[in-house]
Amino acid sequence: MYWHAHENFRTMPWKESKNPYFIWLSEIILQQTRVEQGLAYYLKFIAAFPTVAHLAKAKDSNVFKLWEGLGYYSRCRNLLITAREINEQFANVFPSNYSQLISLKGIGPYTAAAIASFAFNKPYAVVDGNVNRVIARYFGITTPVNTLSTTKLINEQAQKLLDKKMPGLYNQAIMDLGATICKPKNPLCEACPLQKKCVAYAKDMLYLPIKLKKVPKKIRWLNYIIATTSSKILVTQRLQKDIWQQLYQFFLIESVADLGIEDVMLTQEFKAAFSLPYLTSKISKIEVQQLTHQTIKGFKIHISLQEEIPIAGYKWITFKTLKKIAFPKFLSQDVSEYTTRQIP
């Protein structure tokens, strides 16, 4: 705790807050997101929705638009569900009880412990990736940290180490220690207050923690036809239970392998949809986006038509409307190109 009080200078706006809404919002945004990127989103969210009541009453489309580019959109869906649960079940007051917190959609043990300890000073250890690493090195844990048995062991050790009188301060201290001192590579052991009792330091085991290798990611080919007229563009909303649910996209031809541009445009889907004359204005190179469990690859083929063609499941919208709806990062550059276009 001395290190946290005198040597930890890692500042973030949510760290000084006791507001459970701000703490919850920061934790959800920072899941799978670097602090540098998440900070800008956090500030935008609290400006647009200063309380959980504001978020609960917001339109889904407005929230998704604000989230656009952050990825892992299930977090955004859960954010809305939880805000509305708190509105309906707890009269817009965040519960302080751990079991009530963990019952809310999208709030797991880590987030529930963070809210309980940071906002309400309840004695629950917060175990994120940084804490995982500190404890694995400190105790010399050599079993893979991404197994159930080791996860259980680390959580038990974290709870034993917790300062029960100041759990919020302690949790923040050990998280920051992992982020700034006990780093994954090139840890600053000489500046670490735990060095004298650290097993990994004593036994030259700073390669810890060990993780099991992940299963190779599935590859999906999403080939997009970006169809426009002089003032409108063809879009649809992804409503199925899949990646990017509730976000918008352009005309999609999905394939199990790289078809190449010509074969994409020879598919029955393409020929059935675009039977009227069109001009191909631009074709992208193969683009790639890494998701948690899969890799997305595909082309973007831009075509222009003289008039709108009715296509089942799709609609034509203006370029101005395009600015108001949310798209996945895979399409963000293409969206930007059309939203900045000047219409005569």
What backbone phi and psi angles, to 5 degrees, belong to 264? -60, -45
269 in active site = no
* Catalytic choice (7, 16, 27, 337): 27
Cβ neighbours around 301 below 10 Å, total? 22
CB-based contacts of 185: which residues, under 8 Å, 6+ apart? none
Residue bearing tokens 């007229």 = 229
Does an H or E element contain 234, and which?
Answer: strand 232-237
Largest CA distance in the chain: 75
In this structure, the strands spanning 294-298 and 218-228 are parallel
Nearest-angstrom CA–CA distance, 191 and 61: 47
Residue 283: strand pairing partners: 301
**Which among 63, 58, 60 has a CA at the least distance from the CA of 44?**
63
Residue 294: strand pairing partners: 218
Write the single-letter amino acid at 24.
W
Query: Crossing angle for the helix pair 74-89 and 20-30, nearest 10 degrees?
Result: 160
Nearest-angstrom CA–CA distance, 234 and 308: 9
- Report, as residue numbers or ranges, the catalytic residues: 27
